[in-house]
Amino acid sequence: MEFTAQMIAQFLGGSVEGDPNAKVNTVAKIEEGFEGALSFLANPKYTPYIYTTHSSIVLVNSNFEAEQPVRATLIRVPDAYGAFAQLLDLYAQAQLPTNGVEQPSYISSSAQVHPDTYVGAFAYIADGAQVEQDAKIFAQVYIGRNVHVGQGTVIYPGAKIYDGCHIGSRCTIHAGAVIGADGFGFAPQEGANFRKIPQIGNVVIEDYVEIGANATVDRATMGSTYIRRGVKLDDHVHIAHNVEVGENTVMAAQCGVAGTTTIGKNCMFGGQVGITPHTKIGDGVRCGAKSGISGDVKPNSTIFGMVAQDVSKERRVVAVYKNLPELARRLGELERMVSKLKSKEE
């Protein structure tokens, strides 16, 4: 795909300054620009780059005033960053495969797959599954029995959705993610191996959710594991059985949430955080990377630490922690002084 400055300006309702036939086929940061790339300038910090960039076209704010000659063709728009984001969205959308069913694929005769969808080769769609309009089921994806995949949802290569799970609309599920594997439940048996507790619930993923590559969301023992609307889970995140992750909550890579824990809305978790089972995390909680959460957390708390506590308290603790040998030395010194004072007195 190649676009001229004129085509882009028309689409954005902007005006061209320079060569209206300048062509681009990709985008780049202004400081890393090259022939054929489109860039933008919004943050004044980057202004010097507009005089040196090799990008062919640069989007600038309407009020931008060049103080030196500019080689690139400029397109003036009211909001250069917003316009760039709009073009990126279009570009990303255009990357998705066009609708159609590649062969060989396996679609059960009892599955309902909307005719306007993409189904890649080696994808498997089991009995009773429903796939809504404009869903993109990439190659090698597995859609279990009675799974629902909502409108416009994109499931990347090799993701696996177990039987009975529900995926909402406009979701993105990345390669290797596994939705609906068994919760980890075993009952001890006198003098024998553990006995598996059947996991007969499912996973409900609401609309606008993103699930990262190789992430896992386990099915409920009974009932449902819930990933609420707008949640974003990064790669390798693990959500155990019967967990609920509240609306718009964001978890960075490699976080793990143990069974039956509930997490509120609008929370943010750094990477590698772990949360114990049966824990309640309030709305709006922020938690630093690598923290361990082993008890309920009040709404709007900001916490951190191996045994997570209030972040400002933990920071002061860490400062002392890093000087523990000095603290121990001072204590020993005091002991010697006090012992001397005491012996003098006697």
Q: How far is the CB of 257 from a copy of itself (least distance, A)?
A: 9
226-245: contacts with a copy of itself (CB under 8 A)? 229-230, 232, 234-236, 238, 240
Give the β-pairing of 286-287 and 268-269. parallel
Choose the binding region for a copy of itself from 44-52, 54-62, 64-72, 266-274 (rule: CB under 8 A).
266-274
**Segment 22 to 41, residues that bind a copy of itself, using CB under 8 A:** 26-29, 32
From candidates 21, 43, 52, 306, binder to a copy of itself by CB under 8 A: 306
The verdict on 214 binding a copy of itself (CB under 8 A) reads: yes
Q: Which of 7, 101, 222, 311 binds a copy of itself (CB under 8 A)?
A: 222
The two beta strands, 178-181 and 216-218, are parallel
Residue 179 one-letter amino acid: I
* Contact between 261 and 298 (Cβ < 8 Å): no
What sections of 119-197 are H helices per DSSP? none
Does 114 participate in catalysis according to the annotation?
A: no
Sequence-distant (≥ 6) Cβ neighbours of residue 66 within 8 angstroms = 50, 51
Stretch 152-171 residues interacting with a copy of itself (CB under 8 A): 156-158, 160, 162-163
Site size with a copy of itself, rule: CB under 8 A: 107
Find the binder of a copy of itself among 132, 134, 218, 244 (CB under 8 A).
Answer: 218
Q: Which helix (H) or strand (E) covers residue 339, if one does?
A: helix 324-345
- Smallest distance, a copy of itself to C-beta of residue 325, A: 4
Distance of CA 276 to the CA centre of its chain: 21
Residue 332 to residue 99: CA distance in whole angstroms: 75
Spatial CA neighbour of 215 closest among 156, 299, 280, 263:
156
* Cα→Cα distances 151→20, 31, 155, 159, 287, Å: 38, 38, 12, 17, 33
**Least distance (Å) from a copy of itself to the CB of residue 214?**
5
208 binds a copy of itself (CB under 8 A): yes
Which residue number, 4 or 216, has a Cβ lying nearer to a copy of itself? Answer: 216
Binding flag, residue 346, a copy of itself (CB under 8 A): no
**Residue with smaller CB distance to a copy of itself, 39 or 73:** 39
Whole-number Å distance between alpha carbons of 159 and 124: 11
**Which residue out of 148, 166, 238, 241 is catalytically annotated?**
241
- What are residue 256's DSSP bridge partners? 238, 274
Residue 101: CB minimum distance to a copy of itself, A = 13
Query: CB 169: neighbour CB atoms within 10 A?
Result: 18
Q: Give the footprint of a copy of itself on residues 46-105 (CB under 8 A).
A: 85, 88-89, 91-92, 95, 102, 104
Q: Is 284 in the site for a copy of itself (CB under 8 A)?
A: no
Smallest distance from a copy of itself to CB 106, Å: 4
The single residue among 130, 289, 301, 311 that binds a copy of itself, judged by CB under 8 A, is 289
On whether the CB atoms of residues 38 and 27 are closer than 8 A, the answer is yes
Amino acid at 103: Q
User: CB neighbours of 24 closer than 8 A, spacing ≥ 6?
Assistant: 2, 3, 5, 8, 36, 37, 38, 55, 56, 57
Residues 178-197 that bind a copy of itself (CB under 8 A): 178, 181-182, 184, 186-187, 193-194, 196-197
7 interacts with a copy of itself by CB under 8 A: no
Which one among 49, 176, 283, 301 touches a copy of itself, defined by CB under 8 A? 176
- 3 strand-pairing partners: 24
Provide, rounded to whole angstroms, the least separation between the CB of residue 2 and a copy of itself: 15
Active-site residues: which are they? 241
